């Protein structure tokens, strides 16, 4: 636990406080959460209860119905679970600019300390950089993102092969479940007036009165919340783990876990997924290495990249060989060359690319393998690398349920050569790895995927939605 906690200011615990405040920013769950567990331990030591604070603001770029719905769908069960464990629970939704923006500071007035999630990107990273100095109580950021804590790596890793052996050495020690929470004191304090009670039935009404973009509809495939996350995991283990190694790069086969949206909002932890996978694999004699490589090693590499990068959304992070070769080819002719709108509304002349973009528009996520093709083609068909990068980030910010996180930026920058190696030189890409439609046709069933997405577009019914 020690190597998961960072104290981000130098204040002392306030005496005579009413509670320890746990601010769930990135990890919207009570179970398998090192942050909440740390808050509970601290509260027990101080003889205090824990108050959990979860919030949703409407004022970040491209806030829309899809993201709001996915967050709100998790709230009723979080409220139930935190209370069941003896903690208090407050949910605050800032719907319009005239709603207060100082709720955390109000709650902190009666707190002995603030405990929150350590997270290297998005709003959480901004909050954790700015808020601690404004408080007169301790501010602890706890890393519950990966199986191996970010702090165990002391520098930015060059590629998967440099981090892999280190991760594997630490696994026996890190693959331990988060201890069960036992709060010695129940929260019996008042429920603040700004608390919003969310019920599954009133979510559409709540969303409709927020000052956000209502044109991006909720995902056709994924609903938010911890229960959905656990069902998705169960579905994966029972149906797809056995096919994973063979079919993970065959998008039409649906053999991947689809857990990234749930990991993104912290409805489930990578640690509990890893433990459940190992246990299921052992019980049913199934191979787990391929999936755990993605879940543990690639995820750790992405968080390591975000933690040690000044700006994880910048091409400045590319290795020298990639930056150099892309610069050399910056003047190469792009043909075709599309605008942001042509990309956004899937109006290219490549039916596979359009289908992948439509999957983004409808489901809010592209299959991992085709997403790489999607990114490579945006580079090939954009006026410049910078413009291609901005298009990819924009499309993720606006439409993806798994956007704005370390994996997002690592996957995008991988398309430009990050964590990769050089290959044969060619136009536009230089020595950066190229991907072709012929390659996709050779290796995957492109027609089946296009047909599936066309049917989804036509009917609005997603057969891959887990009920």
User: Cα–Cα distance between 400 and 394 in angstroms, integer?
Assistant: 10
Closest CB to DNA among 18 and 296?
Answer: 296
Contact call for residues 244 and 255 (beta carbons, < 8 A): yes
Instruction: Give the shortest CB-373-to-DNA separation in angstroms.
Output: 8
Among the listed ranges 56-64, 305-313, 368-376, 390-398, the one in contact with DNA (CB under 7 A) is: 368-376
Beta-bridge partners for 90: 53
Instruction: Give the shortest CB-431-to-DNA separation in angstroms.
Output: 6
Contact call for residues 303 and 406 (beta carbons, < 8 A): yes
Instruction: Give CA 190 to chain center in angstroms.
Output: 33
250 binds DNA (CB under 7 A): no
Which strands make up the sheet holding 50-57, listed edge to edge? 5-7, 139-142, 111-117, 19-24, 50-57, 88-94
Single out the residue of 81, 434, 462, 466 in contact with DNA (rule: CB under 7 A): 434
User: Cα–Cα distance between 362 and 232 in angstroms, integer?
Assistant: 19
384 binds DNA (CB under 7 A): no
Q: Which residue has the tokens 């942001």?
A: 340
What number of other Cβ atoms are within 10 A of residue 80's Cβ? 12
User: Cα–Cα distance between 5 and 7 in angstroms, integer?
Assistant: 7
Closest CB to DNA among 35 and 417?
Answer: 417
Secondary element (H or E) of residue 228: helix 226-235
Instruction: Give the shortest CB-376-to-DNA separation in angstroms.
Output: 9
Site string (111-150) toward DNA, x via CB under 7 A:
----------------------------------------
Instruction: Give the shortest CB-156-to-DNA separation in angstroms.
Output: 9
Instruction: Give the shortest CB-434-to-DNA separation in angstroms.
Output: 5
Cis peptide before 68 (omega within 30 of 0): no
Strands (E), 82-149: 88-94, 111-117, 139-142
Segment 185-224, which members bind DNA (CB under 7 A)? none
Single out the residue of 12, 105, 136, 165 in contact with DNA (rule: CB under 7 A): 165
435 binds DNA (CB under 7 A): yes
Closest CB to DNA among 152 and 248?
Answer: 248
Closest CB to DNA among 103 and 415?
Answer: 415
60 binds DNA (CB under 7 A): no
CA distances 49 to 16, 140, 146, 178, 395, Å, are 12, 17, 27, 19, 42
Instruction: Give the shortest CB-335-to-DNA separation in angstroms.
Output: 15
What number of other Cβ atoms are within 10 A of residue 157's Cβ? 18
280 binds DNA (CB under 7 A): no
422 binds DNA (CB under 7 A): yes
Instruction: Give the shortest CB-313-to-DNA separation in angstroms.
Output: 17
Closest CB to DNA among 142 and 153?
Answer: 153
User: Cα–Cα distance between 360 and 357 in angstroms, integer?
Assistant: 5
Closest CA to 368 of 212, 233, 211, 244: 244
169 binds DNA (CB under 7 A): no
What number of other Cβ atoms are within 10 A of residue 458's Cβ? 8
Rounded to the nearest 10 degrees, how much is the dihedral formed by the CA atoms of 334, 340, 342, 344?
A: 130
Closest CA to 409 of 329, 302, 308, 254: 302
Single out the residue of 244, 369, 374, 409 in contact with DNA (rule: CB under 7 A): 369
CA distances 10 to 6, 22, 113, 136, 392, Å, are 11, 18, 11, 9, 39
Instruction: Give the shortest CB-58-to-DNA separation in angstroms.
Output: 31
Instruction: Give the shortest CB-361-to-DNA separation in angstroms.
Output: 21
Closest CB to DNA among 44 and 294?
Answer: 294
Closest CB to DNA among 97 and 442?
Answer: 442
Site string (285-324) toward DNA, x via CB under 7 A:
---------x---x---x----------------xxx---
User: Cα–Cα distance between 123 and 55 in angstroms, integer?
Assistant: 12
Closest CB to DNA among 396 and 431?
Answer: 431
Single out the residue of 423, 445, 462, 466 in contact with DNA (rule: CB under 7 A): 423
Q: Work out the angle between the directed axes of helices 368-380 and 385-399 (0-180°, nearest 10).
A: 140
443 binds DNA (CB under 7 A): yes
Residues that bind DNA (CB under 7 A): 157-162, 164-165, 248-249, 294, 298, 302, 319-321, 368-369, 372, 410-411, 414, 419-425, 431, 433-436, 438-440, 442-443
């Amino acid at each position: 636990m020690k190597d998961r906690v960072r104290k981000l200011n130098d204040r002392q615990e306030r005496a005579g406080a009413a509670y320890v405040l746990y601010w769930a920013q990135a990890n919207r769950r009570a179970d398998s959460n090192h942050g909440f567990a740390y808050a509970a331990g601290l509260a027990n030591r101080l003889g205090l209860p824990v108050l959990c604070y979860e919030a949703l603001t409407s004022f970040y770029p491209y806030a829309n119905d899809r993201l709001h719905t996915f967050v709100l769908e998790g709230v009723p069960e979080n409220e139930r679970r935190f209370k069941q464990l003896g903690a208090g629970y407050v949910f605050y939704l800032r719907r319009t600019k005239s709603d207060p923006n100082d709720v955390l500071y109000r709650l902190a007035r009666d707190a002995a300390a603030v405990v929150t999630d350590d997270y290297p990107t998005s709003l959480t990273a901004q909050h954790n950089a700015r808020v601690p100095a404004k408080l007169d109580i301790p501010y602890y950021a706890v890393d519950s993102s990966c199986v191996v804590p970010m702090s165990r790596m002391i520098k930015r890793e060059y590629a998967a092969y440099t981090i892999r052996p280190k991760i594997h050495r630490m696994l026996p020690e890190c693959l331990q479940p988060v201890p069960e929470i036992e709060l010695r004191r129940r929260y019996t304090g008042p429920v603040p007036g700004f608390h919003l009670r969310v019920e599954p039935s009133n979510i559409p009404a709540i969303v409709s009165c927020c000052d956000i973009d209502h044109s991006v509809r909720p995902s056709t495939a994924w609903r938010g919340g911890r229960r959905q996350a656990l069902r998705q995991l169960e579905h994966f283990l029972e149906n797809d783990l056995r096919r994973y190694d063979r079919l993970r790069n065959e998008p039409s086969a649906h053999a991947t876990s689809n857990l990234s949206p749930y990991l993104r909002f912290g409805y489930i932890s990578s640690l509990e997924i890893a433990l459940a996978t190992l246990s299921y694999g052992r019980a049913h004699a199934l191979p787990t290495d391929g999936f755990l490589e993605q879940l543990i090693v690639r995820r750790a590499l992405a968080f390591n990249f975000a933690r040690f990068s000044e700006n994880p959304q910048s091409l400045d992070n590319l290795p020298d060989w990639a930056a150099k070769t892309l610069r050399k080819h910056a003047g190469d002719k792009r043909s075709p060359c599309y605008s942001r709108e042509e990309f956004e509304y899937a109006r290219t002349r490549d039916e596979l690319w359009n289908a992948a973009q439509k999957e983004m528009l409808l489901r809010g996520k592209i299959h991992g393998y085709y997403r790489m093709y999607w990114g490579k083609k945006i580079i090939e068909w954009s006026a410049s690398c910078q413009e291609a990068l901005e298009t990819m980030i924009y499309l993720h910010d606006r439409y993806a349920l798994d956007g704005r996180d370390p994996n997002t930026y690592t996957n995008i920058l991988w398309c430009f050569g990050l964590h990769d190696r050089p290959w044969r030189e060619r136009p536009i890409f230089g020595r950066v790895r190229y991907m072709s439609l012929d390659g996709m046709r050779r290796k995957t069933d492109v027609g089946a995927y296009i047909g599936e997405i066309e049917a989804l577009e036509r009917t609005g019914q997603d057969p891959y939605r887990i009920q």
